[in-house]
Amino acid sequence: MEQYIMRGGQPLEGEVTISGAKNAALGLLAAAIMTDDDVILENLPDVRDIRVLLQAMQEIGVQVEYINKNTVKINGSHIDSMSIDYEFIRKIRASYYLLGALLGKYKESHVALPGGCNIGSRPIDQHIKGFKALGATVEIEQGMIATTAERLVGTHIYMDVVSVGATINVMMAATMAEGNSIIENAAKEPHIVDVANFLNSMGANIKGAGTDVIRIKGVEKLHGTEYSVIPDQIEAGTFMCMAAATKGDVVIKNVIPKHLEAISAKLTEIGAVVEEYDDAVRVIGTKRLGSTHVKTLPYPGFPTDMQPQIATLLAMSEGTSIVTESIFENRFKYVDELARMGAKIVVEGNTAIIDGVEGLSGVAVSAPDLRAGAALVMAGLAAEGVTQVDQIEYIQRGYEDFEEKLRGIGADIQKIPVDDERAVRRFQLKVV
């Protein structure tokens, strides 16, 4: 077990390059098994969630060959099992994308039922509704969801809630159904568009991804492709908030600025300078920022995956801010940890009322989940003194080379074993 230790107070400065989007890559990897030809995927982030999904795929007979750290060759022609164990689902919920991918290709799939998780209960009724509408029988027994179909037939599906996962899963299955499907009230996140573009590059016929109506003409067969994953909007947003929180000046490269608009708008509103270039953004946070209200919403609204980072930034800004979480019910668990660093935040239901303080001070805190973990590192880099963040396995699920990238823009951060008191003391005594 490892932890991060960092000394805060140093403005982050320089350039950082964003990796491929984890959440897009998870969808693309699952979709890649839908052809028997080779698929080459580039710009995959080298993070734990991706490695676990690749393992789950290998377990059912998918051939996975790493060409380099960020490029894999996938071949799904030797799949000999339709069943994904709980072992994988427990580690990574998105293994459930194999439900839609296998159902589309083989008209059968069995995946262990995902449980709740650290950010709240997460039903999958919309995924099931979509598969059933396409003609599949869906049964839940002994902790597994089993789908089977004689044939899948295109249909009109109205999603009751806007769900990224259900949109991707149902879109994959519908891609290989007979006839036309329409998914209404679809999610519009950039990774939905990426999965649709990827499937189209394999011979699918999907139109409208990125709007709330997706139209799919089913095809019988998909073919191989080479494809590069889009940049990670949330990793970029995290570095943007970090630049602002440390009063730094950071150029964040390899991004699609359009995907960052909700974040850029909030940062600008509270007084940071955000400059947009073709494939980069520069964030300058030279002074203490102001307050605002933020409500998380499906894309193009403010992303729930950026909620802990913006709330942490607002905890150090001047004035009172209100952050409302409207997607997941349990996403304020990091607030107690931030309070231990001196933040003044009161949570009432799905709303956090933040009374900005002048500064935070370093203590030992625990990452409760992936994005909140990154937010605590951000707090540590802005705080006075030394901060330790443990349970960094969460952070490693989704941020590639996190501490290396941070060191590259001037952060004083190290990864050390959790129980290595001597390493902690050495870091504390280090002359800066």
Q: How many angstroms separate the CA atoms of 203 and 299, rounded?
A: 27
Q: How many angstroms separate the CA atoms of 9 and 316, rounded?
A: 12
| Catalytic status, residue 241 | no
Q: How many angstroms separate the CA atoms of 424 and 401, rounded?
A: 21
Q: In this structure, are residues 383 and 344 in contact, taking their beta carbons and an 8 Å threshold?
A: no
Q: By CB under 6 A, tell whether 125 contacts ligand UD1.
A: yes
Residue nearest to ligand UD1 as judged by C-beta position: 165
Task: Quote the tokens at residue 141.
Answer: 């027994």
Q: What are phi and psi of 147, to 5 degrees?
A: -115, 140
349 DSSP assignment: T
**Closest by alpha carbon to 175, among 239, 101, 230, 245?**
101
Q: By CB under 6 A, tell whether 147 contacts ligand UD1.
A: no
**Residue bearing tokens 């899963």:** 169
Restricting to residues 356-385, name those near ligand UD1 by CB under 6 A.
Answer: none
Q: Which is nearer to ligand UD1, 122 or 405 (CB)?
A: 122
Q: How many angstroms separate the CA atoms of 149 and 164, rounded?
A: 24
Q: Which is nearer to ligand UD1, 4 or 96 (CB)?
A: 96
Q: By CB under 6 A, tell whether 417 contacts ligand UD1.
A: no
Stretch that binds ligand UD1, among 28-36, 56-64, 123-131, 386-394 (CB under 6 A): 123-131
Q: Which is nearer to ligand UD1, 137 or 286 (CB)?
A: 137
Q: From the list 18, 79, 94, 251, which residue makes contact with ligand UD1 (rule: CB under 6 A)?
A: 94
Q: From the list 19, 23, 233, 414, which residue makes contact with ligand UD1 (rule: CB under 6 A)?
A: 23
Q: By CB under 6 A, tell whether 140 contacts ligand UD1.
A: no
* Strand order through the sheet with 225-228: 63-68, 71-75, 38-42, 225-228
Q: How many angstroms separate the CA atoms of 271 and 94, rounded?
A: 37
**Smallest distance, ligand UD1 to C-beta of residue 25, A:** 9
> Would you tell me the crossing angle of helices 22-32 and 190-201 to the nearest 10 degrees?
30
Q: From the list 109, 126, 181, 197, which residue makes contact with ligand UD1 (rule: CB under 6 A)?
A: 126
Q: By CB under 6 A, tell whether 164 contacts ligand UD1.
A: yes
In the set 117, 140, 213, 346, the catalytic residue is 117
**Smallest distance, ligand UD1 to C-beta of residue 345, A:** 20
**Smallest distance, ligand UD1 to C-beta of residue 362, A:** 28
Q: Which is nearer to ligand UD1, 4 or 131 (CB)?
A: 131
**Smallest distance, ligand UD1 to C-beta of residue 16, A:** 21
Restricting to residues 166-195, name those near ligand UD1 by CB under 6 A.
Answer: 166, 187
CA atoms within 13 A on the CB side of 295: 2
Task: Quote the tokens at residue 56.
Answer: 């789950």
Q: By CB under 6 A, tell whether 127 contacts ligand UD1.
A: yes
Q: From the list 161, 213, 265, 346, which residue makes contact with ligand UD1 (rule: CB under 6 A)?
A: 161
| N- to C-terminal Cα separation, the chain | 27
**Closest by alpha carbon to 340, among 307, 368, 317, 301?**
368
Q: Which is nearer to ligand UD1, 341 or 370 (CB)?
A: 370
Q: In this structure, are residues 360 and 379 in contact, taking their beta carbons and an 8 Å threshold?
A: yes
Q: By CB under 6 A, tell whether 260 contacts ligand UD1.
A: no
Write a three-state SS string for 142-190: CCEEEEECCCCECCEEECCCCCHHHHHHHHHHHHCCECEEEEECCCCCH
Restricting to residues 292-311, name those near ligand UD1 by CB under 6 A.
Answer: 303-305
Q: How many angstroms separate the CA atoms of 295 and 305, rounded?
A: 12
Q: From the list 3, 163, 246, 309, which residue makes contact with ligand UD1 (rule: CB under 6 A)?
A: 163
Q: Which residues are registered as beta bridge partners of 225?
A: 39
Q: From the list 124, 229, 294, 316, which residue makes contact with ligand UD1 (rule: CB under 6 A)?
A: 124
Q: How many angstroms separate the CA atoms of 76 and 9, rounded?
A: 49
Q: From the list 123, 143, 359, 417, which residue makes contact with ligand UD1 (rule: CB under 6 A)?
A: 123
Q: What are phi and psi of 72, to 5 degrees?
A: -130, 155
Geometric angle at alpha carbon 156, from 150 and 162, rounded to 5°: 110
Per-residue x/- mask for ligand UD1, residues 327 to 356, rule CB under 6 A?
xx----------------------------
**Smallest distance, ligand UD1 to C-beta of residue 123, A:** 4
Stretch that binds ligand UD1, among 67-75, 164-172, 176-184, 310-318 (CB under 6 A): 164-172
**Smallest distance, ligand UD1 to C-beta of residue 220, A:** 28
Residue count, binding to ligand UD1 (CB under 6 A): 20
Among all residues, which ones are annotated catalytic?
Answer: 117
Q: Applying CB under 6 A, which residues contact ligand UD1?
A: 23, 26, 94, 122-127, 161, 163-166, 187, 303-305, 327-328
